[in-house]
Amino acid sequence: MCAQWMLIDDSVLQFQSLPGTFDPGLLDEPWYDVLGVKPNSSPAEIKDAFRREMMAYHSDRVATLGRKLQELAEWESKRINRAYEQARKTKVFS
């Protein structure tokens, strides 16, 4: 089963199970959109964006927010990691 989070209003998320398999390795959007940078960003900008995004979903920050939000944070962390891996493959990192 694949999990999906839907924003009902500004403060409530609803968790739904969807048919299919969950694979955070398959991004449905470009890596630069996931990281919030431009495609021609420098490696330093990409690294900063990666760290900023990962900080928002870090397990210590969501530890007290409940199981469903912890699962969302885990999924987002995997998605951000995969985007960063793709960025590293397409950009020259030193």
Q: Where are the domains of the chain?
A: 27-94
Q: Which long-range contacts (CB under 8 A, 24 or more apart) does 76-81 make?
A: 78/24, 79/24, 79/27, 79/34, 80/34, 80/35, 80/50, 80/53, 80/54, 81/24, 81/54
Q: Answer whether 0.95 is exceeded by the pTM.
A: no
pLDDT at 23: 54
How many Cα atoms within 13 Å fall on the side-chain side of residue 32? 10
> 27-94: which CATH topology?
Helix Hairpins (1.10.287)
User: Per residue in 3-23, pLDDT tens?
Assistant: 444 444 444 444 444 444 445
